[in-house]
Structure 1
Amino acid sequence: MMAKQANDIDGSVKQKAFTFLQKLTKDDAAPGLHIEPIHGAVDRRVRTGRVDDKYRAVLFKIDGQVPTYVLYGIWMHDEAIRQAKITSIQMNPVNGVVETLQAEAPEVVEPEPPAPPEPEPAEPPAPLLAVSVEDLEGLGIPSALARDAVGVTDDGVFNRLLDGVPPWQSEALLALATGSGLEQVRADLELSASEDATKAASEDEQLIAAMEKPASQMEFAEIKGVDELRRVIEDGDFGAWRVFLHPVQRMWVEKENNGPFRLSGGAGTGKTVVVVHRARRLAKDRPDQRIVLTTFTRNLADDIASSVKRLDPQVPLVRLGDQGVHVTGIDALASAVIRSARPQDLGLAAKKVLGTARADVGGRVDNHLWNTVAGEVAELPEKLRNPKFLESEYEMVVLPNGIVDEAGYLRVRRPGRGVRLNKKARQAVWKAVARYREEEALQGCADFAEKAAIAAAYLNARVADEGHVADHVLVDEGQDLKPTHWMLIRALVGERKDDIFIAEDGHQRIYGQKVVLSHYGIATRGRSRRLTLNYRTTAENLRWVTVLLQGVSYEDLEGEEDTVDGYRSARHGVAPVVESCSGLVEELDVTAKTLNRWIDDARASGRSEALAVLVRDKQQRDRVVSGLNERGVAARAVDRGGVGAGGVDEPVVMTMHRAKGTEFTKVVLFDVEPSGVGRTPHGYDFSEEDQADAQKRERSLLYVAASRARDELVITKSSGHGY
Structure 2
Amino acid sequence: MSEAGRSAGVEAHRLVALADAHDERAAAAREAAQRWMIAHRTERQVAGTLAPLSACGFTFLHDRGWPGARRGSRAQIDHVLVGPGGVFVVDTKGWRDVSVAGGRLFRGQADVTDDLAGLADVGVGTEAVLAELGLAPGEVRVVVVLAGSAMDAVALSSLGGLVVVGERRASAFINGFGRRLTERQQHAVLGAVMAHFPPLGEEAVPRDLSVPDPVIEGPALLTVDEVADTFLAGMLAAPIEEWMAFLHPDQAKLVRRSFSGPARIRGAAGTGKTVVGLHRAAYLARGTTGRVIVTTYVRTLPDVLSTLLQRLAPEVADRVEFTGIHQFALRVLRERGHRVELKLPEATQAFNRAWAVVGRNGLLGSVDANSKYWQDELLKVIKGRGLTSFEQYADLARSGRRRRLGVDQRREVWRLYLQYEQNLRTAGVVDFEDVILHAEASLRERPLEGISAVVIDEAQDLSCVMLRMLHAIVGDRPDGLTLIGDGQQTIYTGGYSLSESGISVAGRGVVMSTNYRNTREIASFASSIVEGDEFVDIEGGPGRADAALAVPRTGPSPVLSSFASHAQHDAALVAHVRSLVASSVDAGDIGVLAATNRDAQALATALRAAGFGVVELTSYTGSTASLVKVGTIKRAKGLEFKHVLLGRVAEELLALTVEGLDDGARERREIERRELYVGMTRARDGLWVGCRNYTVSNSLVEGVKSSTH
- What amino acid is aligned across from residue 272 of structure 1 in structure 2? T
Find the partner of 1:575 among 553, 557, 582: 557
- Alpha-carbon distance in 1 for matches of 2:577, 2:681: 18
Structure 1 position 374 matched with structure 2 position 375: no
- What amino acid is aligned across from residue 708 of structure 1 in structure 2? R
Match runs of 1:76-475 below 5 Å: 204=205, 234-236=238-240, 239-287=241-289, 289-317=290-318, 324-342=319-337, 360=340, 362-364=342-344, 365-377=346-358, 379-381=362-364, 382-383=366-367, 386-399=370-383, 402-406=386-390, 409-410=393-394, 414=398, 417-463=401-447, 470-475=451-456
TM-score w.r.t. length of structure 2: 0.63
- Alpha-carbon distance in 1 for matches of 2:369, 2:263: 40
Residues 446, 664 of structure 1: alpha-carbon distance in 2 compared, 3 angstrom cutoff = same
Structure 1 position 591 matched with structure 2 position 573: yes
Residues 386, 338 of structure 1: alpha-carbon distance in 2 compared, 3 angstrom cutoff = farther
- Alpha-carbon distance in 1 for matches of 2:231, 2:470: 38
- Alpha-carbon distance in 1 for matches of 2:656, 2:420: 31
SS at match of 1:472: strand
- Alpha-carbon distance in 1 for matches of 2:682, 2:396: 42
Q: 1:386, CA displacement in angstroms?
A: 4.5
SS at match of 2:517: coil
- Alpha-carbon distance in 1 for matches of 2:655, 2:207: 59
Q: 1:645, CA displacement in angstroms?
A: 6.0
* Contact 1:611–1:647 (Cα < 8 Å) also in 2: no
- Alpha-carbon distance in 2 for matches of 1:269, 1:228: 34
Residues 668, 423 of structure 1: alpha-carbon distance in 2 compared, 3 angstrom cutoff = closer
* Contact 1:98–1:207 (Cα < 8 Å) also in 2: no
In structure 1, what is the equivalent of residue 631 of structure 2? 654
SS at match of 2:630: strand
- What amino acid is aligned across from residue 473 of structure 2 in structure 1? L
- Alpha-carbon distance in 1 for matches of 2:311, 2:414: 49
- Alpha-carbon distance in 2 for matches of 1:634, 1:63: 52
Structure 1 position 529 matched with structure 2 position 510: yes
Q: 1:296, CA displacement in angstroms?
A: 0.5
- Alpha-carbon distance in 2 for matches of 1:620, 1:651: 16
- Alpha-carbon distance in 2 for matches of 1:521, 1:338: 23
Q: 1:426, CA displacement in angstroms?
A: 3.2
**Which has the higher Rg, Structure 1 or Structure 2?**
2
Residues 581, 647 of structure 1: alpha-carbon distance in 2 compared, 3 angstrom cutoff = farther
* Contact 1:534–1:570 (Cα < 8 Å) also in 2: yes
Provide the alpha-carbon RMSD of the alignment. 4.3
Q: 1:422, CA displacement in angstroms?
A: 4.3
Q: 1:294, CA displacement in angstroms?
A: 0.9
* Contact 2:298–2:637 (Cα < 8 Å) also in 1: no
Q: Percent identity?
A: 25
- Alpha-carbon distance in 2 for matches of 1:228, 1:511: 46
Residues 628, 204 of structure 1: alpha-carbon distance in 2 compared, 3 angstrom cutoff = same
- Alpha-carbon distance in 1 for matches of 2:644, 2:380: 36
SS at match of 2:451: coil
* Contact 2:455–2:481 (Cα < 8 Å) also in 1: yes
Aligned length: 513
Residues 375, 622 of structure 1: alpha-carbon distance in 2 compared, 3 angstrom cutoff = same
* Contact 1:298–1:329 (Cα < 8 Å) also in 2: yes
- Alpha-carbon distance in 2 for matches of 1:407, 1:554: 26
* Contact 1:668–1:714 (Cα < 8 Å) also in 2: yes
Q: 1:528, CA displacement in angstroms?
A: 0.5
SS at match of 2:620: coil
In structure 1, what is the equivalent of residue 123 of structure 2? none
- What amino acid is aligned across from residue 640 of structure 1 in structure 2? T
- Alpha-carbon distance in 2 for matches of 1:290, 1:563: 34
- Alpha-carbon distance in 2 for matches of 1:546, 1:522: 30
Q: 1:503, CA displacement in angstroms?
A: 0.4
- Alpha-carbon distance in 2 for matches of 1:366, 1:234: 44
In structure 2, what is the equivalent of residue 45 of structure 1? none
- Alpha-carbon distance in 1 for matches of 2:250, 2:208: 22
- Alpha-carbon distance in 1 for matches of 2:677, 2:202: 51
Residues 633, 568 of structure 1: alpha-carbon distance in 2 compared, 3 angstrom cutoff = farther
Q: Deviations over 1:615-654 (max 9, x none)?
A: 2322222332333344x34142514221566765x42332
* Contact 1:672–1:715 (Cα < 8 Å) also in 2: yes
Residues 334, 70 of structure 1: alpha-carbon distance in 2 compared, 3 angstrom cutoff = closer
Residues 262, 671 of structure 1: alpha-carbon distance in 2 compared, 3 angstrom cutoff = same
Structure 1 position 641 matched with structure 2 position 619: yes
Structure 1 position 615 matched with structure 2 position 585: no
- Alpha-carbon distance in 2 for matches of 1:703, 1:534: 14
Residues 567, 702 of structure 1: alpha-carbon distance in 2 compared, 3 angstrom cutoff = farther
Q: 1:454, CA displacement in angstroms?
A: 2.1
- What amino acid is aligned across from residue 300 of structure 1 in structure 2? L
Q: Deviations over 1:285-337 (max 9, x none)?
A: 112x23221110221121122222221122243xxxxxx32221111122222
- Alpha-carbon distance in 2 for matches of 1:206, 1:399: 69
- What amino acid is aligned across from residue 324 of structure 2 in structure 1? G
Residues 367, 258 of structure 1: alpha-carbon distance in 2 compared, 3 angstrom cutoff = same
In structure 1, what is the equivalent of residue 90 of structure 2? none
Q: 1:434, CA displacement in angstroms?
A: 1.4
Residues 272, 420 of structure 1: alpha-carbon distance in 2 compared, 3 angstrom cutoff = closer
* Contact 1:518–1:524 (Cα < 8 Å) also in 2: no
- Alpha-carbon distance in 1 for matches of 2:546, 2:588: 29
* Contact 2:298–2:635 (Cα < 8 Å) also in 1: no
Find the partner of 1:550 among 531, 540, 544: 531
Find the partner of 1:667 among 615, 640, 644: 644
- Alpha-carbon distance in 2 for matches of 1:436, 1:478: 28
Which structure features the higher share of helix residues?
2
* Contact 2:519–2:555 (Cα < 8 Å) also in 1: yes
* Contact 2:521–2:555 (Cα < 8 Å) also in 1: yes
Q: 1:713, CA displacement in angstroms?
A: 1.8
* Contact 1:257–1:497 (Cα < 8 Å) also in 2: yes
